[in-house]
Structure 1
Amino acid sequence: MYELEAKVPAYFHISIVSVHDSKTMKYIPYESDSYYVFGCGYNAFKELYKIHLHESFFVVRAKKNLQFKCIRWKRRLPKNVLTDSRIELTDIITRLKYPVRLRLVKYRDEDQDREFVFLTNAFHLTSLEIVELYKNAGRLSCSSDG
């Protein structure tokens, strides 16, 4: 975890290589009114809901097999934003872990000629601000498809 204002690491956790990074999310000391940006494959919905309960915000890449239904979507979108919608998770186990609505933003990165799908609980930000949070965390270079 990196403290943007102080420009120093605020927290780190070391684990053995066989432990997936998302398993260490439970050790992060979440703070209210903060933003947490996770790389590919961090769809640990129980931990993401913990962030939500701390009145904080997250941005994470959605996995391709995410099961959801669209509740509402925005019609006028900025350039390269393909989708900006409110969703509900439909997989019963996943929904038990994250029972409230999420936001899904699909973005086309022209430089990489790729599409990225983000999940967030930050409904107050614009879709491009969501993308910028992820970009500024250095995550668009992630090679995994999530």
Structure 2
Amino acid sequence: MARLAMGGCQCGRVRYEAELETDDAYLCHCRMCQRATGGVSIAFVGVDRDRVTWTTQEPDRYRSSPIAHRGFCSACGTPLTFEFSDDEAKGLDLTVGSFDDPAPFRPTHHFAIESRHEAWLDTRDLPGIRSEENPSTRDRWIKAIGHLPD
């Protein structure tokens, strides 16, 4: 059964609704994604292009390679999509972090494992610090908006 999931960029300029058949997601470790996001990987959800509705405006796009382009918000910089450039591409990938509620998604596989950074795969035993436990960050948020962000 399909479910409707909403998302968008950090500043709210670009918003979308996606009709999803599954909560399956994947981690891409390719060097293009690493460079495009500044991270060691990025989490994506694949969806049919015709099941995504841009409710405010479409994202800006740039050609990130000879075969693909990426959607993003030019106001806040949020990465939103990966899309093959050819006319045969029926789907696109939405970034898991851009969904309003990313919690339901579960990774089902890794892509481009030749570029995977093994040390970053299992970090569960590293010590964890909550945002409110860091006085420097906490105090700045309290001063700016009166509370910690969601």
RCO higher in structure (CA 8 A, sep ≥6): 2
Larger radius of gyration between Structure 1 and Structure 2? 2
Q: Provide the TM-score with structure 2 as the length reference.
A: 0.28
Structure with greater proportional strand content: 2
